[in-house]
Amino acid sequence: MRQTKFIFSSFLLLTLLIASCNRDDKKIGRQNVKIGALLSLTGNWSSLGITSRAAMDIALEDINAYMEETGSRYRFTSEIFDTKLDASLATDFIAEASKNGCKFILGPQSSAEAAAVNSYASANDMLVVSQGSTAGTLSIENDNLFRFCPDDHIEGLAMANTIYNSGIRALITAAREDAGNMGLQTSTGKAFQNKGGMLYITTPYSPVTSNFSALLSEIKTKILQYSATHDTSKIAVYLASFDECVGLFQQAANDPVLSKVRWYGGDGTALSAALIGNATAADFAIATEYFAPAFGLPAQASAKWQPLSEKIKHRTGITPDAFALASYDAVWVMALTYNAYPYSKIDFGKLKAEFSDQASRYYGATGTTMLNAAGDRAVGSYDYWGLEKTGSGYSWRLVGKSE
Protein backbone atom coordinates (compact mmCIF):
# COMPACT_ATOMS: atom_id res chain seq x y z
CA MET A 1 0.00 0.00 0.00
CA ARG A 2 2.81 2.40 0.90
CA GLN A 3 4.55 1.54 -2.36
CA THR A 4 1.38 2.31 -4.30
CA LYS A 5 1.08 5.71 -2.55
CA PHE A 6 4.74 6.42 -3.26
CA ILE A 7 4.34 5.59 -6.96
CA PHE A 8 1.19 7.77 -7.19
CA SER A 9 2.89 10.68 -5.40
CA SER A 10 5.94 10.39 -7.66
CA PHE A 11 3.72 10.35 -10.74
CA LEU A 12 1.80 13.41 -9.51
CA LEU A 13 5.05 15.27 -8.80
CA LEU A 14 6.42 14.39 -12.24
CA THR A 15 3.20 15.58 -13.87
CA LEU A 16 3.37 18.89 -12.02
CA LEU A 17 7.02 19.33 -13.00
CA ILE A 18 6.25 18.68 -16.66
CA ALA A 19 3.33 21.13 -16.57
CA SER A 20 5.54 23.70 -14.89
CA CYS A 21 8.23 23.21 -17.53
CA ASN A 22 5.64 23.57 -20.28
CA ARG A 23 4.43 26.82 -18.76
CA ASP A 24 8.02 28.02 -18.51
CA ASP A 25 8.63 27.01 -22.12
CA LYS A 26 5.61 29.01 -23.19
CA LYS A 27 6.86 32.02 -21.27
CA ILE A 28 10.29 31.65 -22.79
CA GLY A 29 8.75 31.41 -26.28
CA ARG A 30 6.42 34.34 -25.73
CA GLN A 31 7.38 37.56 -27.50
CA ASN A 32 6.31 40.94 -26.19
CA VAL A 33 5.80 43.53 -28.91
CA LYS A 34 5.79 47.21 -27.99
CA ILE A 35 3.76 49.61 -30.15
CA GLY A 36 4.59 53.29 -29.85
CA ALA A 37 1.98 56.06 -30.05
CA LEU A 38 2.51 59.75 -30.85
CA LEU A 39 -0.63 61.50 -29.59
CA SER A 40 -1.59 65.02 -28.56
CA LEU A 41 -2.85 64.49 -25.00
CA THR A 42 -2.47 68.00 -23.55
CA GLY A 43 -2.09 70.28 -26.58
CA ASN A 44 -4.17 71.22 -29.61
CA TRP A 45 -6.62 68.59 -30.85
CA SER A 46 -6.30 66.77 -27.55
CA SER A 47 -9.84 65.41 -27.92
CA LEU A 48 -8.53 63.08 -30.62
CA GLY A 49 -5.37 62.26 -28.68
CA ILE A 50 -7.27 61.31 -25.54
CA THR A 51 -9.87 59.20 -27.33
CA SER A 52 -7.19 57.56 -29.52
CA ARG A 53 -5.28 56.53 -26.39
CA ALA A 54 -8.43 54.94 -24.95
CA ALA A 55 -9.11 53.19 -28.27
CA MET A 56 -5.56 51.84 -28.26
CA ASP A 57 -5.87 50.61 -24.67
CA ILE A 58 -9.11 48.77 -25.46
CA ALA A 59 -7.61 47.31 -28.63
CA LEU A 60 -4.63 45.92 -26.71
CA GLU A 61 -6.94 44.34 -24.13
CA ASP A 62 -8.98 42.67 -26.89
CA ILE A 63 -5.92 41.67 -28.90
CA ASN A 64 -4.08 40.06 -25.99
CA ALA A 65 -7.20 38.12 -25.03
CA TYR A 66 -7.42 36.90 -28.64
CA MET A 67 -3.74 35.95 -28.66
CA GLU A 68 -4.20 33.99 -25.44
CA GLU A 69 -7.21 32.14 -26.82
CA THR A 70 -5.51 31.24 -30.09
CA GLY A 71 -2.22 30.18 -28.52
CA SER A 72 -0.17 32.90 -30.17
CA ARG A 73 3.27 33.62 -28.75
CA TYR A 74 2.78 37.40 -29.16
CA ARG A 75 1.59 39.85 -26.51
CA PHE A 76 1.31 43.57 -27.13
CA THR A 77 1.96 46.65 -25.00
CA SER A 78 2.13 50.37 -25.72
CA GLU A 79 4.48 53.25 -25.11
CA ILE A 80 2.68 56.58 -25.46
CA PHE A 81 4.22 60.00 -26.03
CA ASP A 82 2.42 63.34 -25.68
CA THR A 83 3.43 65.37 -28.73
CA LYS A 84 1.10 68.31 -27.96
CA LEU A 85 0.63 68.46 -31.77
CA ASP A 86 4.21 69.80 -31.98
CA ALA A 87 6.19 68.45 -34.95
CA SER A 88 9.54 68.91 -33.20
CA LEU A 89 8.35 66.87 -30.21
CA ALA A 90 7.05 64.18 -32.56
CA THR A 91 10.51 64.00 -34.15
CA ASP A 92 12.19 63.61 -30.77
CA PHE A 93 9.72 61.01 -29.57
CA ILE A 94 9.87 58.75 -32.63
CA ALA A 95 13.62 58.51 -32.10
CA GLU A 96 13.02 57.58 -28.46
CA ALA A 97 10.41 55.02 -29.48
CA SER A 98 12.90 53.48 -31.91
CA LYS A 99 15.54 53.17 -29.19
CA ASN A 100 12.95 51.43 -27.03
CA GLY A 101 12.28 48.81 -29.68
CA CYS A 102 9.09 50.09 -31.30
CA LYS A 103 8.79 49.12 -34.97
CA PHE A 104 5.16 50.21 -35.30
CA ILE A 105 3.88 53.69 -34.39
CA LEU A 106 0.26 54.78 -34.02
CA GLY A 107 -0.09 58.43 -35.03
CA PRO A 108 0.96 61.13 -35.18
CA GLN A 109 -2.45 62.66 -35.67
CA SER A 110 -1.57 65.82 -37.64
CA SER A 111 -0.03 66.08 -41.10
CA ALA A 112 2.68 68.48 -39.91
CA GLU A 113 3.87 65.85 -37.42
CA ALA A 114 3.53 63.03 -39.95
CA ALA A 115 5.66 64.94 -42.45
CA ALA A 116 8.27 65.60 -39.75
CA VAL A 117 8.69 61.93 -38.74
CA ASN A 118 8.34 60.27 -42.15
CA SER A 119 12.00 60.44 -43.18
CA TYR A 120 13.16 59.09 -39.79
CA ALA A 121 10.70 56.21 -40.07
CA SER A 122 11.98 55.34 -43.53
CA ALA A 123 15.63 55.53 -42.47
CA ASN A 124 15.06 53.36 -39.39
CA ASP A 125 12.61 50.74 -40.67
CA MET A 126 9.63 51.96 -38.67
CA LEU A 127 6.04 51.77 -39.86
CA VAL A 128 3.93 54.83 -38.98
CA VAL A 129 0.13 54.56 -39.05
CA SER A 130 -1.64 57.90 -38.66
CA GLN A 131 -5.31 58.02 -37.74
CA GLY A 132 -5.74 61.75 -38.46
CA SER A 133 -3.30 63.02 -41.10
CA THR A 134 -5.06 64.02 -44.33
CA ALA A 135 -2.61 66.19 -46.32
CA GLY A 136 -2.56 65.21 -49.98
CA THR A 137 1.13 66.14 -50.13
CA LEU A 138 1.84 63.06 -48.00
CA SER A 139 0.15 60.65 -50.40
CA ILE A 140 3.47 59.08 -51.40
CA GLU A 141 3.92 55.55 -52.69
CA ASN A 142 6.43 53.20 -51.04
CA ASP A 143 7.14 55.41 -48.02
CA ASN A 144 6.67 54.18 -44.43
CA LEU A 145 3.66 56.37 -43.65
CA PHE A 146 0.26 54.70 -43.76
CA ARG A 147 -2.97 56.53 -43.01
CA PHE A 148 -6.21 54.99 -41.82
CA CYS A 149 -8.24 57.98 -43.03
CA PRO A 150 -8.80 59.38 -46.55
CA ASP A 151 -6.65 62.28 -47.72
CA ASP A 152 -7.83 65.88 -48.10
CA HIS A 153 -8.91 65.48 -51.74
CA ILE A 154 -11.82 63.28 -50.68
CA GLU A 155 -12.79 65.48 -47.73
CA GLY A 156 -12.41 68.71 -49.74
CA LEU A 157 -14.66 67.45 -52.51
CA ALA A 158 -17.29 66.31 -50.00
CA MET A 159 -17.28 69.66 -48.18
CA ALA A 160 -17.34 71.69 -51.40
CA ASN A 161 -20.35 69.72 -52.67
CA THR A 162 -22.19 70.22 -49.39
CA ILE A 163 -21.38 73.94 -49.18
CA TYR A 164 -22.38 74.60 -52.78
CA ASN A 165 -25.56 72.51 -52.53
CA SER A 166 -26.50 74.53 -49.42
CA GLY A 167 -26.86 77.57 -51.68
CA ILE A 168 -23.48 79.20 -51.02
CA ARG A 169 -22.04 80.91 -54.08
CA ALA A 170 -19.20 83.00 -52.58
CA LEU A 171 -16.71 81.37 -50.22
CA ILE A 172 -13.84 82.82 -48.15
CA THR A 173 -11.31 80.26 -46.96
CA ALA A 174 -8.85 80.50 -44.04
CA ALA A 175 -6.45 77.96 -42.56
CA ARG A 176 -3.84 77.32 -39.91
CA GLU A 177 -0.36 77.15 -41.41
CA ASP A 178 0.27 73.40 -41.39
CA ALA A 179 0.23 70.78 -44.11
CA GLY A 180 -3.10 69.21 -43.18
CA ASN A 181 -5.18 72.35 -42.78
CA MET A 182 -3.64 74.13 -45.76
CA GLY A 183 -4.35 71.01 -47.82
CA LEU A 184 -8.00 71.14 -46.75
CA GLN A 185 -8.18 74.86 -47.58
CA THR A 186 -6.79 74.18 -51.04
CA SER A 187 -8.83 71.08 -51.87
CA THR A 188 -12.13 72.52 -50.58
CA GLY A 189 -11.58 75.86 -52.31
CA LYS A 190 -10.62 74.33 -55.66
CA ALA A 191 -13.56 71.92 -55.63
CA PHE A 192 -15.96 74.77 -54.74
CA GLN A 193 -14.53 76.95 -57.52
CA ASN A 194 -14.83 74.08 -60.01
CA LYS A 195 -18.54 73.96 -59.26
CA GLY A 196 -18.85 77.60 -60.33
CA GLY A 197 -18.58 79.34 -56.96
CA MET A 198 -16.59 82.51 -56.27
CA LEU A 199 -13.53 81.97 -54.07
CA TYR A 200 -11.32 84.21 -51.94
CA ILE A 201 -8.28 82.66 -50.24
CA THR A 202 -6.70 84.23 -47.15
CA THR A 203 -3.05 83.65 -46.26
CA PRO A 204 -2.68 80.85 -43.67
CA TYR A 205 -2.05 82.09 -40.13
CA SER A 206 0.81 80.96 -37.89
CA PRO A 207 0.12 78.10 -35.44
CA VAL A 208 1.19 80.41 -32.58
CA THR A 209 -1.35 83.13 -33.49
CA SER A 210 -3.55 84.22 -30.61
CA ASN A 211 -4.77 87.56 -31.97
CA PHE A 212 -6.88 87.03 -35.09
CA SER A 213 -7.84 90.68 -35.62
CA ALA A 214 -5.99 91.07 -38.93
CA LEU A 215 -7.44 87.86 -40.40
CA LEU A 216 -10.97 88.68 -39.23
CA SER A 217 -10.67 92.19 -40.66
CA GLU A 218 -9.69 90.71 -44.04
CA ILE A 219 -12.59 88.26 -43.93
CA LYS A 220 -15.02 91.04 -42.98
CA THR A 221 -13.82 93.25 -45.83
CA LYS A 222 -14.38 90.44 -48.33
CA ILE A 223 -17.84 89.66 -46.92
CA LEU A 224 -18.82 93.29 -47.44
CA GLN A 225 -17.45 93.20 -51.01
CA TYR A 226 -19.35 90.02 -51.82
CA SER A 227 -22.51 91.55 -50.27
CA ALA A 228 -22.64 94.05 -53.12
CA THR A 229 -23.53 91.22 -55.53
CA HIS A 230 -24.72 88.39 -53.27
CA ASP A 231 -27.28 88.04 -50.52
CA THR A 232 -25.57 87.19 -47.22
CA SER A 233 -27.33 83.81 -47.26
CA LYS A 234 -25.12 82.94 -50.25
CA ILE A 235 -21.81 83.95 -48.58
CA ALA A 236 -19.82 81.71 -46.22
CA VAL A 237 -16.46 81.25 -44.51
CA TYR A 238 -14.55 77.97 -44.47
CA LEU A 239 -11.97 77.63 -41.66
CA ALA A 240 -9.50 74.73 -41.50
CA SER A 241 -8.12 74.78 -37.95
CA PHE A 242 -7.62 73.01 -34.67
CA ASP A 243 -8.75 74.16 -31.21
CA GLU A 244 -7.46 77.71 -31.81
CA CYS A 245 -10.81 78.27 -33.54
CA VAL A 246 -12.10 78.95 -30.01
CA GLY A 247 -10.05 82.15 -29.76
CA LEU A 248 -10.95 83.15 -33.31
CA PHE A 249 -14.67 82.65 -32.68
CA GLN A 250 -14.47 84.63 -29.44
CA GLN A 251 -12.98 87.57 -31.33
CA ALA A 252 -15.51 87.24 -34.17
CA ALA A 253 -18.56 86.95 -31.92
CA ASN A 254 -19.10 90.69 -31.37
CA ASP A 255 -18.97 91.61 -35.06
CA PRO A 256 -22.42 91.60 -36.74
CA VAL A 257 -20.91 91.22 -40.23
CA LEU A 258 -18.92 88.09 -39.29
CA SER A 259 -21.92 86.66 -37.41
CA LYS A 260 -24.28 87.20 -40.33
CA VAL A 261 -22.83 84.57 -42.71
CA ARG A 262 -22.46 80.81 -42.41
CA TRP A 263 -19.20 79.24 -41.22
CA TYR A 264 -17.85 75.77 -41.96
CA GLY A 265 -14.86 73.88 -40.54
CA GLY A 266 -12.33 71.17 -41.30
CA ASP A 267 -11.99 67.83 -39.53
CA GLY A 268 -9.62 69.25 -36.89
CA THR A 269 -12.49 70.79 -34.92
CA ALA A 270 -15.22 68.14 -35.19
CA LEU A 271 -16.25 67.01 -31.68
CA SER A 272 -13.72 69.39 -30.10
CA ALA A 273 -14.09 69.48 -26.31
CA ALA A 274 -12.46 72.92 -26.29
CA LEU A 275 -15.15 74.42 -28.53
CA ILE A 276 -18.14 73.18 -26.51
CA GLY A 277 -16.27 74.24 -23.36
CA ASN A 278 -16.33 77.95 -24.25
CA ALA A 279 -19.76 79.62 -24.20
CA THR A 280 -18.87 82.63 -26.37
CA ALA A 281 -17.26 80.50 -29.09
CA ALA A 282 -20.04 77.91 -28.94
CA ASP A 283 -22.74 80.56 -29.23
CA PHE A 284 -20.99 82.01 -32.30
CA ALA A 285 -20.82 78.53 -33.86
CA ILE A 286 -24.53 77.98 -33.24
CA ALA A 287 -25.46 81.43 -34.58
CA THR A 288 -23.51 80.84 -37.80
CA GLU A 289 -24.78 77.25 -38.22
CA TYR A 290 -21.18 76.04 -38.06
CA PHE A 291 -20.44 72.40 -38.64
CA ALA A 292 -17.31 70.34 -39.27
CA PRO A 293 -16.76 66.94 -40.89
CA ALA A 294 -15.47 63.82 -39.21
CA PHE A 295 -14.53 60.70 -41.10
CA GLY A 296 -17.80 58.79 -41.23
CA LEU A 297 -18.76 55.48 -39.69
CA PRO A 298 -20.52 52.90 -41.90
CA ALA A 299 -23.97 51.85 -40.71
CA GLN A 300 -23.20 48.22 -41.56
CA ALA A 301 -20.37 48.23 -38.99
CA SER A 302 -22.50 49.68 -36.18
CA ALA A 303 -22.38 46.41 -34.21
CA LYS A 304 -18.62 46.97 -33.93
CA TRP A 305 -18.32 50.74 -33.47
CA GLN A 306 -21.30 51.50 -31.22
CA PRO A 307 -20.15 49.46 -28.18
CA LEU A 308 -16.55 50.59 -28.74
CA SER A 309 -17.64 54.23 -28.87
CA GLU A 310 -19.55 53.80 -25.61
CA LYS A 311 -16.50 52.25 -23.90
CA ILE A 312 -14.26 55.12 -25.02
CA LYS A 313 -16.76 57.77 -23.90
CA HIS A 314 -17.09 56.00 -20.53
CA ARG A 315 -13.31 56.13 -20.04
CA THR A 316 -12.72 59.67 -21.33
CA GLY A 317 -15.99 61.59 -21.13
CA ILE A 318 -15.54 62.46 -24.83
CA THR A 319 -17.55 61.08 -27.74
CA PRO A 320 -14.96 59.59 -30.12
CA ASP A 321 -15.08 60.28 -33.84
CA ALA A 322 -14.10 57.87 -36.60
CA PHE A 323 -10.48 59.09 -36.50
CA ALA A 324 -10.25 57.85 -32.92
CA LEU A 325 -11.99 54.57 -33.75
CA ALA A 326 -9.54 54.13 -36.63
CA SER A 327 -6.84 53.92 -33.94
CA TYR A 328 -8.51 50.76 -32.64
CA ASP A 329 -8.52 49.24 -36.13
CA ALA A 330 -4.92 50.32 -36.82
CA VAL A 331 -3.61 48.61 -33.68
CA TRP A 332 -5.50 45.44 -34.58
CA VAL A 333 -3.95 45.38 -38.07
CA MET A 334 -0.49 45.90 -36.53
CA ALA A 335 -1.04 42.93 -34.20
CA LEU A 336 -2.43 40.71 -36.94
CA THR A 337 0.60 41.58 -39.06
CA TYR A 338 3.00 40.39 -36.38
CA ASN A 339 0.93 37.33 -35.70
CA ALA A 340 0.85 36.31 -39.37
CA TYR A 341 4.50 37.14 -40.03
CA PRO A 342 6.22 33.80 -40.75
CA TYR A 343 9.88 34.73 -40.28
CA SER A 344 11.99 34.48 -37.13
CA LYS A 345 14.03 37.53 -38.15
CA ILE A 346 12.41 40.72 -39.34
CA ASP A 347 12.71 41.57 -43.01
CA PHE A 348 11.13 45.01 -42.86
CA GLY A 349 10.11 45.09 -46.52
CA LYS A 350 8.18 41.84 -46.08
CA LEU A 351 6.70 43.07 -42.81
CA LYS A 352 5.46 46.23 -44.51
CA ALA A 353 3.93 44.21 -47.35
CA GLU A 354 2.23 41.96 -44.79
CA PHE A 355 0.73 45.04 -43.12
CA SER A 356 -0.85 46.16 -46.41
CA ASP A 357 -2.20 42.65 -46.99
CA GLN A 358 -3.71 42.49 -43.51
CA ALA A 359 -5.27 45.96 -43.94
CA SER A 360 -6.92 44.86 -47.19
CA ARG A 361 -8.56 41.89 -45.44
CA TYR A 362 -9.54 43.53 -42.16
CA TYR A 363 -13.05 44.81 -41.43
CA GLY A 364 -13.31 46.67 -38.16
CA ALA A 365 -15.09 49.42 -36.29
CA THR A 366 -14.58 51.84 -39.18
CA GLY A 367 -15.44 49.29 -41.85
CA THR A 368 -12.99 48.11 -44.47
CA THR A 369 -9.44 49.37 -44.01
CA MET A 370 -8.31 48.74 -47.58
CA LEU A 371 -5.49 51.11 -48.57
CA ASN A 372 -4.65 52.70 -51.91
CA ALA A 373 -1.27 52.68 -53.65
CA ALA A 374 -0.02 55.52 -51.42
CA GLY A 375 -0.94 53.62 -48.25
CA ASP A 376 -3.95 55.85 -47.48
CA ARG A 377 -7.47 54.67 -46.82
CA ALA A 378 -9.06 53.99 -50.20
CA VAL A 379 -12.66 54.99 -49.41
CA GLY A 380 -14.50 57.20 -46.99
CA SER A 381 -17.58 59.27 -46.24
CA TYR A 382 -18.09 62.05 -43.69
CA ASP A 383 -20.40 62.82 -40.80
CA TYR A 384 -21.15 66.51 -40.20
CA TRP A 385 -21.15 67.67 -36.59
CA GLY A 386 -22.74 70.91 -35.33
CA LEU A 387 -23.28 72.40 -31.88
CA GLU A 388 -26.39 72.78 -29.77
CA LYS A 389 -27.10 74.28 -26.37
CA THR A 390 -28.31 71.75 -23.82
CA GLY A 391 -29.47 73.49 -20.65
CA SER A 392 -26.56 75.63 -19.50
CA GLY A 393 -23.99 73.65 -21.49
CA TYR A 394 -23.20 72.71 -25.07
CA SER A 395 -22.86 69.47 -26.98
CA TRP A 396 -22.14 68.16 -30.44
CA ARG A 397 -24.89 66.65 -32.56
CA LEU A 398 -24.90 64.93 -35.92
CA VAL A 399 -26.42 67.34 -38.44
CA GLY A 400 -25.80 65.54 -41.73
CA LYS A 401 -23.63 63.33 -43.91
CA SER A 402 -21.60 63.89 -47.04
CA GLU A 403 -23.45 63.49 -50.32
How confident is the prediction along the chain (403 residues), in pLDDT tens digits per residue?
Answer: 444 444 444 444 444 444 444 444 345 478 999 999 999 999 999 999 999 999 999 999 999 999 999 999 999 999 999 999 999 999 999 999 999 999 999 999 999 999 999 999 999 999 999 999 999 999 999 999 999 999 999 999 999 999 999 999 999 999 999 999 999 999 999 999 999 999 999 999 999 999 999 999 999 999 999 999 999 999 999 999 999 999 999 999 999 999 999 999 999 999 999 999 999 999 999 999 999 999 999 989 999 999 999 999 999 999 999 999 999 999 999 999 999 986 667 788 999 999 999 999 999 999 999 999 999 999 888 999 999 998 999 999 999 999 7
Q: What is the pLDDT of residue 323?
A: 95
Q: Give the predicted TM-score (pTM) of the model.
A: 0.83
Tell me the one-letter amino acid at 123.
Answer: A
Q: How far is residue 279's CA from residue 285's CA, in Å, rounded to a whole number?
A: 10
Q: What is the pLDDT of residue 344?
A: 63
